[in-house]
Structure 1
């Protein structure tokens, strides 16, 4: 009876959150997967029938789906690597104790406070593909200093790599904060011991600091990875719903609201959830094992 009195108040306190998550997160996920396994390809369809994994298989025969997946892979690779490298470099500079660290840290973190929509609107002007006398934004600057002008996101080969630039600009400050906390968490005694053993400054970072940053790197990788896989607002704000910058989230919107095909949209959403799970589930398993070991 005493044990019940101990945990019952806490359970009642978190019960509304548990119910809300159960209904609006896992309940909606279950409903989406159920819809993806039906033949409801129109909201005006009076009945729907269970078709199993038919929609999940048939979508791979569509050229637009292959294109959107390829774009998502390119965007993810460029965005994740770019944000990780730039964030690590900024944190390295901060860790060295440059003058005005607080000011620079605020400047680097400020883009994170801006929504992807606002970022996309600004970068849509900066990455305008107009050239010569029609050049604006970065192309106007390149023309003024004699550099070649780019087509940016309209380039059929490097368009999605250019689309990752605004995302890198926005999230690199957050990654910097993660790595800076990791740098500051390395005990100075370990660094001094490595220096006494004859390590150069680069050797200290390679053999002492960087191995201890693996948990931070993994956390940043998970966060950036799941953001890139479900990116929608940035793409639409920069280029609109164009085939040349199509990604699964944009294709899902088109399928549901433009083509009136809820089953296909639910199928694409299910694939996005599964792709995010590939990033998140291993991290959760690793976190649980680490807690048990500690």
Structure 2
């Protein structure tokens, strides 16, 4: 069963200038993005910096409102609700409980003026989960233990913790309302490699124990492969390829996906690389994206049709947006 479906999502950020701050143009962060997140599964979103991954995560959690397209939420009984703009109060409360986010930087995502106890209790109190203080305190202590922290830390402040510990606190906060979906926006990129592995193990265990789905955003292909059931590859605000993690790594189709795969370091220099797919130049500006295929300005396989017509994301199971496979 689906939890979230995004259909033809667009997000444009206005560029303002001059004395009267008139709109001079738009940063086209997302262009006609389609994704579905299924129950108890992990959808990985991968791509280079600036491709729109974080913007998509914030659209899904409704931190940002989309410029175009539609966003659907599926309740526990399977009913579909269009939550693109206005939401009924009952559905809004359910959505806010069931869709949470872990932000990239643990140093900025926690309020420095609140104790850990207050940070984790805040969503519980907003949604009036507990009426009994004792039960609430026991629940917070249980959450801290589940993410690998001592319950004795509840009266400390965020500045007293390391980066890895802060991210565990952020995970506990996201987990507090027992959501169905957690959007993980590069939750390990600001941490040391050894701490990254610990955080990933915590997330995996939580997913199994609490039956949670993840939308996992990262630029790290190796990490995305190990945590995801399905992977969407993004470039310049577009999804260029989507497949199960095994299929994508064994049989990448899009030239951009092959470039990403070839960029992965290996400890063994004799390991076979994919077809030598080179990439030219720098990524185009999202203010003025190229016509046709968004990757055509850097692709050695570009054809005349690539300049004129934007390829659609087509296929069954393994989908790719490339005229080479028309």
TM-score, scaled to structure 2: 0.20
TM-score, scaled to structure 1: 0.21
| Higher share of residues assigned helix | 1
| Higher share of residues assigned strand | 2
Say which one has the larger Rg: 1
Structure with bigger RCO (C-alpha 8 Å, 6+ apart): 1
